[in-house]
């Protein structure tokens, strides 16, 4: 007892201090609540009406649950007799909630796990059977049913998680005190909003051990800095490569550490790489439009690259919303006779949002009006809100895993560069973000010829006739591959589609040395993505060399390597620059 007393006292004192601070913060932030902020009232009423109109379906659902429970009892009975068979339900592949052997070895915890998995599967399948609901309502109910099911997992509670119980017993509850203190610290850091720590943020520093590829900022304006990376080969391809990253996140997802940096790898292949580093906007940039990201981002970058290299023709990469911007800008440039871009690569980028996945559950007229009201107060959407939205798409991996690790086990999260980047929030300017959500996600107008105009120019994506390489990821929850694939039916240029393994980030950041995930290729481009996959060839390892084999054919001859600052643009500061630290 005496050994633990100083630590116990310290924890209790810190908890008391944090609790008092949080209470005062919440008193100052009290507002009248929005009684239905998720706009669930209408779809839930529609689901209730569907159930009432089809009582036989309710009876069938109850019978289905009864049959599943009988199967569970049979499994547990045989296991009690020492004759275990296959469990009724297996956790999804990659599910880390039930990793501890105690979930299988101890009968009571196996009962809890199997009862939970059986019931959760039953709940989600019943939502899928509500055929009278329209697609958006059914998707919204299914999404929040899954959130509810994820939250109720026995792994999330002290008394039903064997690993937490063992730790609590061995530490005499000190782990729970540490967890409570960490919970209060995260609430204080978020000023009352829970910002779960996913990694030790003190273990990383931009420009020191992430975003370290050598280069320099050679151009800047109020919206972006343009970084030119130093060559690592004696000769380079004639045409430079310009990367347009999303402004929803910081660009250095493409330059985490040398072992997994796409930028460094591209430089090693002999490309002169330029990357746009977007500013983290504040209230002063609230009126910036989607077109401003084209003019002050892409187009000014193209002008600067020509000054820096003397080369007018450029290859491009657009990542996520950066790819959506690139597609719209290519149509705008085609209409204006601007042919400076020789080829375009798209990383997980959507242009047809009709199958945009779970993010659509957050976007309808009701929720958009609420978001507009929120952004009007400060002129931007704060990064924490956007981050929570994305984390909810993979709640088990990005929320509940850390709830258990941090708050129940009382452990510091591991050091992980990807999660440090994920916690490096960015803001979104009000005017641009409302336009993007309404015209792309809500009304899907970008895919319609002339559906949107940019500075008076009607945008028609079908006019894009340059060589195109489209990368998508098979397990992407943010830009699902059926949605990304739709672009293959729109562009009129020679188009290559490649499907990578894994998700929105790991599917892109997959260096060859890791030899992970694999990818699929198919020269045919049928209308149905499932038909494409059925005829595709699978390849082991990273897709990066496949893309390099495609791009070098678009990149011209080899010339002596270029150094930042050796032509008309002087070096402003070393990479990664000031903007990425903001």
Token duo for residue 281: 């906007």
Instruction: Please name the residues in contact with 548: beta carbons below 8 A apart, sequence gap of 6 or more.
Output: 266, 269
Tell me whether residue 38 is one of the annotated catalytic residues. no
In this structure, what token pair is assigned to residue 579?
Answer: 């903007």
Half-sphere exposure of 10 (CA within 13 A, CB side): 7
DSSP string, 357-384: GGGGGG-SHHHHHHHHHHHHHHSEE-HH
Of 488, 489, 506, 490, the C-alpha closest to 498 is: 488
Query: What is the distance in angstroms between the CA of the first residue and the CA of the last residue of the chain?
Result: 46
Rg (CA), the chain: 26
Residue 486, both tokens: 């739709």
| 3-class DSSP string for 70-96 | HHHHHHHHHHHCCCCCCCCCCCCCCCC
Contact of 102 with 112, CB cutoff 8 Å:
no
Contact (Cβ atoms closer than 8 angstroms) between residue 200 and residue 412: yes
Catalytic residue among 18, 320, 351, 440: 320
Q: Token pair 């500013």 is at which residue? A: 279
- How far is it, in rounded angstroms, from Cα 527 to Cα 512? 31
Rounded to whole angstroms, the Cα distance separating 480 from 501 reads: 12
Report the C-alpha gap between 530 and 479 in whole angstroms. 16
Active-site residues, by number, are 320
């Amino acid at each position: 007892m005496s050994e633990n007393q100083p630590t116990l006292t310290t924890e209790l004192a810190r908890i008391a201090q944090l609790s008092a601070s949080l209470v005062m913060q919440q008193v100052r932030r009290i507002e009248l609540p929005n009684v239905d902020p998720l706009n669930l009232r209408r779809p839930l009423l529609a689901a209730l009406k569907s159930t009432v109109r089809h009582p036989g379906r309710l009876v069938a659902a109850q019978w289905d649950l009864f049959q599943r429970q009988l199967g569970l009892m049979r499994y547990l009975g045989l296991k009690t007799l020492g004759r275990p068979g296959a469990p009724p339900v297996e956790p999804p592949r990659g599910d880390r909630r039930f990793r501890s052997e105690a979930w299988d070895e101890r009968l009571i915890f196996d009962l809890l796990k199997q009862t939970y998995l059986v019931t959760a599967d039953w709940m989600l399948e019943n939502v899928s059977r509500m055929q009278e609901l329209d697609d958006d309502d059914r998707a919204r109910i299914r999404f929040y049913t899954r959130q509810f099911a994820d939250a109720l997992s026995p792994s999330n509670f002290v008394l039903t998680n064997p690993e937490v119980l063992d730790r609590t017993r061995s530490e005499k509850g000190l782990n729970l005190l540490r967890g409570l203190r960490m919970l209060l610290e995260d609430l204080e850091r978020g000023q009352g909003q829970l910002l779960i720590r996913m990694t030790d943020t003190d273990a990383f520093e931009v420009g020191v051990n992430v975003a370290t590829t050598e280069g320099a900022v050679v151009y800047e304006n109020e919206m972006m800095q343009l970084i030119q990376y130093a060559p690592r080969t004696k000769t380079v391809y004639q045409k430079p490569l310009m990367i347009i990253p999303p402004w929803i996140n910081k660009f250095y997802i493409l330059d985490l550490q040398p072992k997994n940096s796409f930028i460094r790898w591209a430089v090693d292949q002999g490309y002169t790489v330029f990357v746009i580093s977007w500013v983290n906007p504040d209230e002063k940039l609230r009126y910036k439009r989607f077109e401003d990201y084209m003019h002050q981002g892409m187009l000014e970058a193209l002008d600067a690259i020509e000054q820096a290299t003397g080369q007018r023709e450029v290859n491009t990469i657009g990542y996520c919303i950066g790819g959506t911007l690139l597609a719209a800008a290519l149509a705008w440039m085609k209409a204006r006779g601007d042919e400076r871009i020789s080829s375009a690569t798209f990383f997980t980028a959507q242009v047809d949002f009709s199958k945009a996945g779970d993010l659509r559950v957050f976007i309808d007229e009701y929720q958009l009006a609420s978001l507009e009201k929120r952004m009007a107060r400060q002129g931007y959407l704060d990064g924490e809100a956007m981050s929570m939205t994305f984390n909810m798409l993979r709640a088990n991996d990005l929320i509940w895993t850390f709830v258990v690790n941090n708050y129940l086990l009382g452990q510091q999260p591991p050091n992980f560069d990807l999660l440090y980047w994920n916690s490096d929030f960015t803001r979104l300017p009000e005017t641009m973000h409302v336009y993007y959500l309404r015209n792309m996600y809500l009304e899907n107008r970008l895919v319609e010829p002339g559906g949107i105009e940019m500075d008076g120019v009607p945008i028609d994506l079908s006019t894009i006739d340059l060589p195109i390489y489209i990368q998508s990821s098979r397990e992407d929850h943010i830009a699902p591959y059926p949605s990304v694939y739709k672009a293959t039916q729109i562009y009129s240029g020679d188009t290559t589609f490649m499907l990578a393994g894994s998700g929105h980030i790991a599917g892109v950041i997959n260096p060859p040395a890791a030899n992970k995930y694999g990818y699929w290729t198919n020269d045919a481009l049928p209308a149905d993505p499932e038909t494409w996959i059925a005829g595709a060839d699978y390849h082991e390892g990273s897709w990066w060399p496949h893309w390099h084999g495609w791009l070098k054919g678009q990149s011209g001859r080899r010339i002596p390597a270029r150094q930042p600052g050796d032509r008309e643009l002087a070096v402003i500061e070393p990479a990664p620059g000031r903007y990425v630290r903001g």
